[in-house]
Amino acid sequence: MLMIRLQRVGRRNHAEFRIVLTEHTKGPQRSYLRLLGHYNPHTNAITVDAEAVREWIGKGAQPSDTVHNLLVSEGIIKGTKKNVLPKKTPIVKEKEETADAAKDTPAEEPTEATEAKTEEAEAEKAAA
């Protein structure tokens, strides 16, 4: 399957990216089939060959989530932006852990003290 993805170029601490068409099994620094544009995140400058991108998407190429968001923001393709999270944030695991913890803790059973308080509150309401 063909992918439209970013390929990092530029010097250290000053990343610039090529928007390239490549096979999805190849690594990000490998050769690419076609250069489709450039992206500079420091200046937010995006240069894209819109016709070529539409042509390759029409042929079945899939853009990565980040490239998809860039193309949507430039108006090259229509749609909603995708949620792109850094790989280091374990948000899914946190949700699973909290769900498991909620299942393991038993619901609080009313004790004699709480029952007595509710009976007193009801009696005060009835007297008023």
Residue that wins the pLDDT comparison between 29 and 68: 68
Residue that wins the pLDDT comparison between 110 and 82: 82
- Residue 107 predicted with pLDDT over 80: no
Half-sphere exposure of 98 (CA within 13 A, CB side): 5
Confidence class for position 102, pLDDT limits 50, 70, 90: low
Among 33, 29, 31, which residue's Cα sits nearest to residue 61? 33
Query: How is domain 2-74 classified at the CATH fold level?
Result: S16 Ribosomal Protein; Chain: A; (3.30.1320)
- Residue 122 predicted with pLDDT over 70: yes
pTM above 0.75, yes or no: no
Separation of alpha carbons 24 and 39, rounded Å: 20
Confidence class for position 68, pLDDT limits 50, 70, 90: very high
